[in-house]
């Protein structure tokens, strides 16, 4: 077992490097199209911990959570194009919001249904999972820290997140081949064609190799923003009983809000020098450290988490289908709106491209919009679960 924190950090980053390297192989691309690198970033460190190569607890994991979370959130927020997201149209926003409502309702119903079969503090684990299913992994960690869920509690959460969440993504990939039948059932209009016609407006600028000065500015800005947010969070009191808005939550809210506001300023141009890519890299390092804290054997002790997760997704899908029927939404917006919540920006473009490669950028924009909504909606979901925990026997 590796015991030195520096060696553990090197192992995690080296694992990510190997993962990114092999994902470039043409022969392996079909595999990574179905199972994106984010899944392997979870599971490879988790397997290393399960077999005893990595410890499940180490100070380096705490350091990564403390700093990589606000750094990644800040860079992802400051580099988004809010105006482009708004141009997606009313129907896309409606379906994404319907997916969010489905996650919140599903969390409440599944928790009440399985509360007696789950550990006493299971609401904290489910609150953390709601963060992942409303915006992505960064929000999961934010909610985990907010409600005070121990790192060990993330083991079953990560397994449910991957097995149920990405299992549903696989179903959506299969259903994409039947979109015409679905669109006929919902009497869908021609919004998808309009979106394809508008894609040229969102074409990203040609990439360029960033200078070391630009990378230094990006890293310095991100870490300063993270440090200031952490300091402000330490000055503010926790709110709620059970605590939902902790000092860590304040720090996350500060860094997310600051990033969104700065996205309307010239600072957003750091995206041209790789700002968003660095944000995703910080997020992947965070994901790897989460996986390293978990043990696959833990799920054998909590099989009801999987059952709760399945019921949760079923309710989410039911509400999405109902909304699709009411608003005459095509399957594309149902699938992308769902994955913008459940999978975030890492998975929404994968599902979108299953309908048409030209639609992948729409998936990116909807996935990023999930980051914007996620932290606020997930905090509301966590509050509901916290209240239910005080009355459910």
Reported as a single tens digit per residue, the pLDDT across 141-186 is: 778 878 888 877 777 787 788 778 877 887 887 788 788 888 888 8
**pLDDT tens-digit series, residues 336-351:** 889 888 877 667 776 8
Helix (H), strand (E) at residue 38: helix 37-50
Which has more pLDDT, 371 or 337? 337
Band of pLDDT at residue 195, cut at 50, 70 and 90: low
Residues 4 and 64: their CA atoms lie apart, in Å, by: 15
The pLDDT of residue 84 is 65
Band of pLDDT at residue 138, cut at 50, 70 and 90: low
Residues 21 and 10: their CA atoms lie apart, in Å, by: 16
**pLDDT tens-digit series, residues 215-264:** 999 999 999 999 999 999 889 887 765 556 677 778 888 888 898 889 88
> Are 69 and 291 in contact, with CB atoms under 8 Å apart?
no
- Whole-Å CA distances, 362 to 30, 83, 136, 155, 206: 21, 13, 17, 32, 18
Alpha helices in 177-302 (DSSP H): 179-186, 191-198, 212-235, 247-262, 275-292
Helix (H), strand (E) at residue 93: helix 90-114
Residues 194 and 50: their CA atoms lie apart, in Å, by: 48
Structure tokens at 322: 């109902």
Single out the residue of 385, 343, 383 nearest to residue 366, CA to CA. 343
Residue 134, phi then psi, degrees to nearest 5? -130, 70
Residues 3 and 352: their CA atoms lie apart, in Å, by: 42
Average per-residue pLDDT for the chain: 83
Cβ neighbors of 146 (< 8 A, separation 6 or more) are: 127, 243, 244, 245, 246, 248, 249, 252, 379, 382
DSSP 203: P
């Amino acid at each position: 077992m590796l015991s030195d924190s520096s060696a553990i950090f090197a192992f995690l980053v080296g694992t990510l490097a190997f993962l990114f390297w092999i994902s470039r192989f043409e022969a392996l691309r079909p595999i990574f199209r179905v199972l994106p690198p984010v899944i392997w970033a979870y599971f490879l460190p988790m397997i290393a911990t399960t077999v005893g190569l990595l410890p499940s607890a180490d100070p380096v994991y705490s350091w990564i959570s403390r700093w990589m979370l606000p750094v990644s959130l800040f860079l992802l927020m400051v580099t988004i194009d809010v105006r482009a997201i708004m141009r997606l149209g009313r129907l896309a926003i409606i379906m994404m919001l319907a997916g969010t409502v489905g996650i919140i309702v599903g969390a409440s119903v599944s928790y009440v249904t399985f509360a007696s079969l789950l550990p006493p503090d299971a609401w904290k684990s489910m609150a953390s999972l709601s963060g992942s299913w409303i915006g992505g992994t960064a929000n999961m960690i934010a909610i985990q820290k907010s409600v005070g869920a121990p790192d060990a509690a993330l083991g079953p959460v990560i397994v449910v997140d991957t097995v149920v969440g990405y299992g549903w993504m696989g179903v959506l990939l299969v259903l994409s081949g039947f979109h015409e039948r679905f669109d006929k059932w919902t009497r869908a209009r021609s919004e998808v064609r309009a979106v394809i016609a508008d894609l040229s407006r969102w074409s990203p600028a040609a990439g360029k190799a960033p200078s070391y000065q630009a990378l230094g500015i990006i890293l310095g800005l991100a870490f300063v923003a993270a440090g200031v947010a952490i300091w402000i969070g330490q000055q503010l009191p926790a709110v709620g009983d059970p605590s939902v808005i902790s000092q860590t939550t304040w720090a996350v809210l500060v860094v997310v809000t600051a990033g969104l506001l700065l996205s309307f300023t010239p600072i957003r141009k750091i995206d041209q020098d790789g700002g968003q890519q660095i944000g995703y890299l910080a997020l992947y390092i965070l994901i790897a450290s989460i996986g390293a804290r978990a043990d696959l054997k833990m799920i054998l002790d909590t099989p009801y988490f999987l059952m709760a997760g399945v019921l949760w997704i079923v309710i989410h899908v039911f509400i999405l289908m109902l909304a699709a029927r009411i608003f005459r939404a095509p399957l594309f917006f149902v699938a992308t709106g769902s994955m913008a919540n459940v999978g975030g920006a890492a998975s929404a473009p994968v599902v979108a491209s299953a309908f048409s490669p030209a639609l992948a950028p729409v998936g990116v924009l909807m996935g990023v919009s999930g980051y914007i909504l996620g932290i606020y909606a997930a905090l509301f979901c966590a509050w509901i679960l916290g209240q239910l925990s005080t009355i459910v026997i």
